[in-house]
A and B are shown apart, each in its own frame.
Chain A
Amino acid sequence: MNTDDRIIDDELQGLGYLGQASGTISVASFTFFSGATQTFSTTLPLASEQTMSISNVKFSGVGNTGVNNKWIYSTGKLSFRNTSPSYDVLLLIDRTPDGQVIKVQLYNPTVASNQTVPNITISIKSYYYAPSW
């Protein structure tokens, strides 16, 4: 027996790493009509449906300076009000048999006029892991 072999006297059982995936949602500039909702999505591959994930997301090209170009820890739902132009943003992360689905909805309230939304990029980095169930 190699003298470097060791027996672990412990009840440790970590969260096993299964892999990573990244994706991007690119929203080309468009005219946002009053009261309209625009939905964009992407799907990242999952090693298995029964994995857990940690996801970080980043919005680039939005007018909200507290959010723009910042990596945000996402637990499945993120919402904020964009400024310049003004519209509501909702990001949802869920899974289907096809994989991990990231959906972004932009909503222009009826009180706002039509406005032009510049190019937006939403980046997603997901880290998958699974313990021994």
Chain B
Amino acid sequence: MGDVQLQGLDSDYDIDKILNSSRFLTPVTGFDYDDLGNDVLPLGIYKDSAGVWHDFQPASALSGFTIQPVNVVDIYSSRVATEFAGSSAIIPKFVLIAIKGKEYTNQNFFKRKNEMVTSPESYMKIHLQGEYDTTTAAQTTTEVTHGLGYIPMINVWVKNISSGFPNYINRITTSGDSAGLTNGVIIDEQKIYITTGLVSPSRNITVYYRIYLENQE
């Protein structure tokens, strides 16, 4: 009988705290939801009817272009709702990440108190995280200084907190015009520049960002 190996994860860095994953394991053909009780940040992929996995991607397209499959999982800040674009079932897999400072009480969340964490993984380490409120009354660029001296990996989400689909949240979309980005994030060795575009009628939005220590090689 071997000795019990006790291993701990000793980290001076914040890492993404996953509350739940793979909420829907069976094919989704319609609308379903699960109330979460508070805002979360979603990341995910889905498998189409041909068995091919895709990232969640923004919807819409420019005329003259061929678009990829639209988002098939709508994540609201306090609810996970699945819809499908088309007639074929899809299987989404996603994680819901906690926002620092918020309390989560939904019974479907992972509860791992007093457990050992043994992991061969190298978890992405959060260097900087935050959020800010703004509106879509005008195109706005917000600078966040990370000061790392290299191009880091990041994640940025936008939550709509007013009209249309309130509390709809997803990673920020990227678009531009002849002058540059009208929506999206530019990264340099010292800062990230988050641009949110003009949408009429104006909406209140919350932008969440995470800048990791991991750099692009």
Contacts and interface: CB of A to CB of B under 8 A. Distances in A.
Contacts of A93: 55
A77 B7 CA distance: 41
Nearest to A73: B185
A66 B176 contact: yes
Interface residues of A, number: 60
Nearest to B45: A52
User: Of residues B52, B95, B174, B177, which shows the largest number of chain A Cβ atoms within 10 Å of its Cβ?
Assistant: B174
Contacts of B95: 15, 131
A85 B178 CA distance: 11
Interface string B161-194: 0000000000111111111110011111000100
B93 A79 contact: no
Given A1-B6, A65-B180, A77-B58, A16 B123 contact: yes
A113 interface: no
A10 B43 CA distance: 21
B87 interface: no
Interface of B: 6-10, 15-18, 21-22, 43-45, 52-58, 62, 64-66, 68, 93, 95, 110-117, 119, 121-124, 151, 153-156, 171-181, 184-188, 192, 214, 216-217
A92 B66 CA distance: 10
Given A15-B18, A50-B53, A127-B153, A9 B62 contact: no
Given A9-B114, A88-B64, A94-B55, A66 B179 contact: yes
Given A56-B151, A73-B174, A129-B124, A67 B180 contact: yes
Contacts of A53: 55
Given A13-B110, A16-B122, A71-B188, 19 more contacts: A6-B10, A8-B115, A8-B117, A9-B115, A10-B117, A11-B110, A11-B112, A11-B115, A12-B17, A13-B117, A15-B18, A22-B216, A37-B65, A67-B181, A73-B172, A73-B187, A76-B58, A79-B176, A86-B178
Given A52-B45, A94-B55, A14 B110 contact: no
B178 A76 contact: no
Contacts of B17: 11-14
A129 B58 CA distance: 20
A129 B18 CA distance: 13
A34 interface: no
Closest 7 CB pairs of A and B: A66-B180, A80-B176, A14-B123, A16-B121, A6-B8, A14-B15, A125-B216
